[in-house]
Chain A
Amino acid sequence: MKNISLLSVPLLLILGCSDLDLPSEATGETRHDAFASTYEPMQSQPTLFKSANIYDGLGGEFLDYDLLVADGKIVEMGRSLSQSGVKVIDASNKWITPGIIDIHSHMGVYSAPGVTSSSDGNEATSPVTAEVWAEHSIWTQDPQFALALKGGVTSFHVLPGSANLFGGRGATFKNISKNTIQAMKFPNAPHSLKMACGENPKRVYGNRRQSPATRMGNMAGYRSAWIDAVDYREDMQESDADKHPKRDLGMDTLMGVLDGEILIQNHCYRAEEMAMMVELSKEFNYKITTFHHAVEAYKIADLLADEGICAAMWADWWGFKHEAYDMVPANIAIIDQARNGTGCAIVHSDDEVGIQHLNQEAAKAMAAGNRAGFNISKAHAMRWITSNPAKAAGILQSTGSIELGKDADIVLWTDNPFSIYARAQQVLIDGAVAFDMNNSQVQPVTDFDLGIIQPQTIRVQ
């Protein structure tokens, strides 16, 4: 029996400055504990997948391998594994990948049906709303969660919208339907702060004859807020607690970024604006984790690679606004291949249909890259929808790849996942089967779905 050690990458947060277990005195214990995750995995049984083809999400491809999961974790991968007392699944001619992760979702904050009463993603009342948290808007019965699960999505990052310069905090979730938001929250995942460049903030506020009405107004707005945050942070670091300013939710968030605990997820399309945001981050000494949408990222691919900033992109969406006019389908591949392949490319959805087919979006992006002269394998492209978004969400230490000891968040596909004909046969989250295409009892049905068209049935059989 020959096994391969999969612990080739240290299980560290690659994001450098993030440490999830910050000493409480640095930031104040209350803030860390508020609204903390109460997530508990569903019951699982040890399972051995036999003779699977596996993409590990880190660039590796393993044909005809066995995979053992137990106690919610990935336990062993190798040839001809055997283990007594476990459920055995014949996975021959099928594929296993890490669970798909979407770094840009609005599920729950823009729930379906998309009616005004469920429009909870943009606090478009002021250009700086760093004080709002997306998780406080989420509707747990959004039917979109289960549809994404059927597409193999095991974790997703929910962001506020892009109307504001600072839209508020985002949070990461395990795709298990529960009746409280905290029970879905990914344990120990960092918050993010959504920032937005370009047309959206200047349109929303410019139309109201207030700042920002221009791109330079956008920049002035970010800088003013950071100046306040730097002051607030200094005051909060006073050793005499009596001299601390009154707690400010928005400033807490910005301070969290300056402290390296909160990750910047920055909506930005144009090359020069992304470069400007990099300058801004240096002026105030914070780190940008990911540029989102980044339709022109390919124009500054080397800069992003040098700065260690990921870009989360669509495969081919364009033309809906001016800053999305210069789309190239090789964008994702060009980012990936920058500086000798050290770039960090992510395929994101920002869309309730797209999130169900991220594997197909990655297939298009890979094909476009190879047409442009690169040589990108499927195993490599799998990173764009697994380990890279995990890294960008700050959860790579526990998910996003098939490595020993990681959460057993995996998908068993009927076919190669880069094919249009592949469907997720089973989706496991922490080793528990959250979706089984052949067993309706293992397919989540929200309260919304129940008896809504006809009392005797569920919404979609």
Chain B
Amino acid sequence: MKYLSLSFFLLFSLNAFTQSILLKGGLVHSGTGESAQIQDILISGNIISRVGNNLAVNGTTKIIELNGLPVTPGLISPTSNLGIVEINALDVTRDDESDLLKAGFSIFNAFNPHSTGIPWNRSNGVTSAITSPGSSSFPLFGMASYFVLDGSLEIKGLKDVAMFGRMGSSYGSRAETLSMLESLLELGQQASSMPIEEVLEMRLADQLELQTQDILALKRLVNNDLPFVLETNRAVDILQAIALKKKYGLNLILASVEEAPLVINQLKASNTPVIIDPMDNIPDSFDELGSSLMLGKILDEAGIKIMFSTQRSHNYHLMRQGSGNAVAYGMSYETAIQGMTQTVAETFKLGARGTITQGKIADIVVWNADPLEPSSFPEFVYIAGKVQDLSSRATRLTERYTNKENKPSAYKH
């Protein structure tokens, strides 16, 4: 079995992780939007120390010949439920919702590095992800955190990197949602000039039973400190969101934006990055009538920064398939790679990750073929310079059920 031989190799190389590694002659997609070229990558410790042609190395450097295999930065999912939802339909396995908190809900301390989705996504090239709270009837769901998917109990990441929320069709009027959002942002503004205790006593805060955490989060929002991911689709709602951004100085990121092509000039002028699912061309609601497979191309041509979400949970690596479809419909190839790497790192201020350039943390994926082809898979995944084990429950189950030994499957392990 292929899996077995690979794990032998991994054991060997894990022992030698402090050694420098030269990834020689890969087709390097740097993630910066520039065209790929054949280059060498030198990893020293957890850092990319050099990228270039024919890099000279000392005798102790481990050299891996890539012979033109594609290389990308480790993929970063801009939204996920990794580590906080094991099985969607089982509430007892979910930590993505709060009954008490609203804007101030932080999922950070719920993160389970042993969740089965982590090795699965890592083995498919996703090396880190933003994990976001589940959607709620309240327009602000709470704050997302960033996690490195190395599976370690020593959790590496960044706490509360963005607020997530939604505006659009609901059982109430969107006018009320908008008005509520404004009132909440104003509470955040007031928190800069008066004690939190007094803000909590204000009529709206009292009515909504807001907590200290909620007010502190709102304060970060209006101080342009916390990126604000707002899911919205209808053309006129996108314009309302842009107006909110201007009025309150928000660090706005729009998600879904299926009708963006109808307001593309205004969106471009607002300098707002977006998160899209390029494959979702279904007019699922009366907010999304303009939905189409051309969304990625139109946003790209306008020069808008694009990141990618996936239709369904648990398979965040499928942003490769989504962005690949966008490329099939006219988006540029390097925008697709950039949208899964650098754009996420920069938009959410994730530190020195997201590109294959000198000095960045060495989160790197070597692919067997074109990473936008959904049939491609990683040959090697590095997180902070360490080669990762690529097994998962799926590979374990596959080994068990392709093992033809004549004994019950429970004895094949």
Residues of A within 8 A of B (CB): 112-115, 143-144, 147, 199, 298-299, 301, 316-322, 325-330, 334, 352-353, 356-357, 360, 363-364, 366-367, 371-373, 418-423, 452-453, 459-460
Contacts and interface: CB of A to CB of B under 8 A. Distances in A.
Given A328-B398, A420-B321, A367 B88 contact: no
Interface residues of B, number: 50
B87 interface: yes
Interface of B: 1-2, 85-90, 116-117, 262, 279-286, 288-292, 294, 311-315, 318, 321, 324-325, 327-329, 372-377, 393-394, 397-398, 401-402, 409
B398 A319 contact: no
A173 B5 CA distance: 47
A113 B117 contact: no
A329 B394 contact: yes
A144 B282 contact: yes
Given A113-B284, A115-B285, A147-B281, A320 B375 contact: no
B375 A319 contact: no
A420 B373 contact: yes
B303 to A, nearest CB: 21
16 contacts: A113-B284, A113-B288, A143-B283, A299-B401, A320-B87, A321-B90, A330-B402, A334-B401, A353-B279, A353-B281, A353-B282, A360-B321, A373-B2, A373-B402, A421-B328, A453-B262
- The B interface is mostly helix, strand or loop, or mixed, namely loop
A163 B312 CA distance: 21
A114 B262 contact: no
Contacts of B315: 316-318
Given A144-B282, A319-B117, A420 B402 contact: no
A321 B327 contact: no
Contact of B327 (A318, A371, A420): A420
A304 B197 CA distance: 66
A338 to B, nearest CB: 11
Contacts, number: 130
A350 to B, nearest CB: 11
Given A329-B394, A420-B328, A320 B282 contact: no
B140 to A, nearest CB: 24
A459 B283 contact: yes
A317 B374 CA distance: 14
A421 B312 CA distance: 22
Contact of A363 (B294, B373, B394): B373
Given A319-B86, A326-B393, 4 more contacts: A318-B315, A328-B397, A367-B377, A373-B2
- The list of the 3 closest CB pairs from A to B, nearest first, reads A367-B375, A319-B314, A420-B324
Contacts of B292: 460
Given A299-B409, A372-B402, A453-B289, A366 B375 contact: yes
Given A318-B314, A319-B313, A353-B311, A371 B377 contact: yes
Contacts of B328: 420-423
A322 B285 contact: no
Contacts of A364: 321, 374-375
Nearest to B89: A321
Nearest to A319: B314
Contacts of B327: 420-421
B277 to A, nearest CB: 9
